[in-house]
Amino acid sequence: MRNHKQWVILLALFTAGVKVTGQEDTTQVWTIPTFGIKTNLLYDLTTSINLGVEFKTSDRTSLDLSGSWNPFTFSDNRKWKHVLIQPEFRLWTKETFSGHFFGLHAHYAYYNVSRLPHSPFSEYMENHRFEGWLAGAGLSYGYRWNFSPNWGLEATLGVGYTHLDYDKYGCKKCGEKLGSDTKNYFGPTKIGVSLIYSFGKTLPRKSYKQVGSISHQSTGRKK
């Protein structure tokens, strides 16, 4: 009986000094995307052709370059013609391309708009045509949902400053020029609900499944 107990004690001391061993399992895992392309669904509703490209610049920052173009004229000379460029630098709260982010954006556009709907605009804008340019900057907040390694959805809203320089015309085609003016605007400068397709690459990562006993040498000291 005594010999049996001695063997049990010896076995316990031996196993206490055995480090965790593992079986190597190489799997393919998706890394954080390096860049993505997107379209703003709200701009699509206004028949504006738009495209955005966003690049990862660090683990928590990215650069978004978005543009929009509308060349169309509708019945009764109603139009929302414009060329818009809007770059934005983004800071993500946890990791790039996931969750909450804050942005600093700038914008420049050339526009030629007329007969805008009374609601949500105004009777004044409905009865005139405006042609000119605008420029400004603002701050934004947004959130991104990832549905798969490739597909995601982003919602964002920004506020800031815009300077507008324009000529005013009557609403008839080639109407008489009524004057020129400038306007300084403070308010919403960016809104978007964008569908995103991301590009990245897969890399092998080593993982280990525990098959041994727990080591009691976690302190790293050698006897």
Radius of gyration over alpha carbons of the chain, in Å? 30
pLDDT at residue 179 in the model? 86
Choose among 88, 85, 90, 53: nearest CA to 67: 85
CA-to-CA distance for 30 and 198, rounded, in angstroms?
A: 11
Q: Give SS3 for 1.
A: coil
CA dist 143 to 17, 100, 125, Å? 49, 4, 33
Strand partners, 109: 84, 134
Mean pLDDT by 10 residues, the chain (223 residues): 49 42 50 88 93 95 97 86 97 95 98 79 78 97 93 96 92 76 94 94 50 39 43
The residue with tokens 């509708």 is 74
pLDDT at residue 149 in the model? 84
Q: Give SS3 for 145.
A: strand
Element (H, E) at 3: helix 2-16
CA-to-CA distance for 138 and 106, rounded, in angstroms?
A: 6
